[in-house]
Amino acid sequence: MTTPASATSTTTQPLAATASKVPTWSKAVPTEQDWYWHWNGDPDSGPLPTSVLYSGFQQACFVSAGQLGLREAVPCKEYGGYWMKMEAPEIPDCTLDE
């Protein structure tokens, strides 16, 4: 008699599987400063992590200079593409040294 793999497995559900809301891509520009995935929509290119900042003067978010090859800040509205907010992973209940 064999024991089912599920009965002997010590693995747990991935943390992402426990998330209640799955982020999705949107063409809507970010409205708050944070880290986002940005994808230009080209199926041959991948998304890039992008720091988005908020300008109180312009009342809009922008991609700051010094990343993604930018020499000047670019308003998110002009930068275009698709956006997905980066969600911080859940912290495990145990210490990582265990």
> CA-CA-CA-CA torsion for 50, 52, 58, 59, nearest 10 degrees?
140
Residue-range definition of the domain harbouring residue 31: 23-85
Does any domain span residue 51?
yes
Nearest to 86 by CA among 34, 14, 46, 29: 34
Does any domain span residue 96?
no
pLDDT of residue 40: 95
Does any domain span residue 4?
no
The count of domains in the chain is: 1
Does any domain span residue 32?
yes
Does any domain span residue 29?
yes
Does any domain span residue 91?
no
Per-residue pLDDT of the chain (98 residues; tens, 9 = 90+): 444 444 444 444 444 444 457 779 999 999 999 999 999 999 999 999 999 999 999 999 999 999 999 999 999 999 999 999 999 888 888 766 66
Residue 7, token pair as written in the block: 């009965």
pLDDT of residue 16: 46
* Beta carbons within 10 angstroms of residue 63's beta carbon: 22
